[in-house]
Structure 1
Amino acid sequence: MENLNIGEKLRLLRKTVPLTTKELAERVNVSQSYISRFENNRAIPDVDMLAKILEALGTDLTSFFSHDVNELTDDYIQLINTAKTLSREERIKLNEFLKVMKGSYQ
């Protein structure tokens, strides 16, 4: 799969949080159109702005560039968002179930 550019990676990461462009813009104290320009690859954020955006998304520059967001398909994003709504006990049970499904349960 082709590597995603910064704008696409930002959009996918924002959706996993999940936040709208308006909510992210408010957290970073910029306009919504400013965030949209980055996500639509009409502008590239400088390092300081990218660091602020990533902090608002709960990550950092190192993680952003080392994490493979190519795997963040719609179904994966939906799974992440669902898992975020679960209690600790429910997440433990979900992990056990996923291990059984994958065949790696020990």
Structure 2
Amino acid sequence: MIEIGEKLRTLRKAKNLTSKELAKKVNISQSYISRFENNKAVPDVDMLDRILNALDSDLPSFFAPDLSNIPPDLIQLINTVKTLSPEARVKLNEFLRLIIKDT
């Protein structure tokens, strides 16, 4: 079972943020972020929600059972795809099918 801190670190790295940058976004100290990521402290729900919002995520996604097995680059891709319009997602799927077909 993956710890909350590991999941937070994975999300942060997927966003290409340092712990200092994340701390600044959430308006807490870098050491506080470090304590969470190293499982030395557990954020309360409000703090976790603030951190996840800064990472363009949310509580339901964070606690989804599959998230623990997703590598950071795939999380980054998923977050990018979430910002696309439905039409753009259709075009992206068509493009990906072409890439897979050619390999």
Q: What TM-score do you get using the length of structure 2 for normalisation?
A: 0.72
In structure 1, the partner of 2:67 is 69
Q: 1:76 to 1:60 in 2, by over 3 A?
A: closer
> In percent, how many aligned pairs have the same letter?
60
Any residues of structure 2 matched to 1:42-61 within 5 Å, and which? 42-61=40-59
Q: 1:62 to 1:93 in 2, by over 3 A?
A: closer
Residue 12 of structure 1 contacts residue 69 of structure 1 at CA under 8 Å; is this kept in 2? no
In structure 2, the partner of 1:20 is 18
Query: How far is 1:70 from its partner?
Result: 2.5
Query: How far is 1:102 from its partner?
Result: 7.0
Q: 1:65 to 1:27 in 2, by over 3 A?
A: same
Q: What TM-score do you get using the length of structure 1 for normalisation?
A: 0.70
Query: How far is 1:98 from its partner?
Result: 3.3
Gap runs ≥5 in structure 1: none
Q: 1:73 to 1:60 in 2, by over 3 A?
A: closer
Query: How far is 1:59 from its partner?
Result: 1.3
Instruction: Provide the alpha-carbon RMSD of the alignment.
Output: 2.9
Residue 22 of structure 1 contacts residue 32 of structure 1 at CA under 8 Å; is this kept in 2? yes
Paired residues, number: 96
Q: 1:61 to 1:75 in 2, by over 3 A?
A: closer
In structure 2, the partner of 1:40 is 38
Q: 1:31 to 1:71 in 2, by over 3 A?
A: same
The worse-fitting range, judged by mean Cα deviation, of 8-17 and 66-75 is 66-75
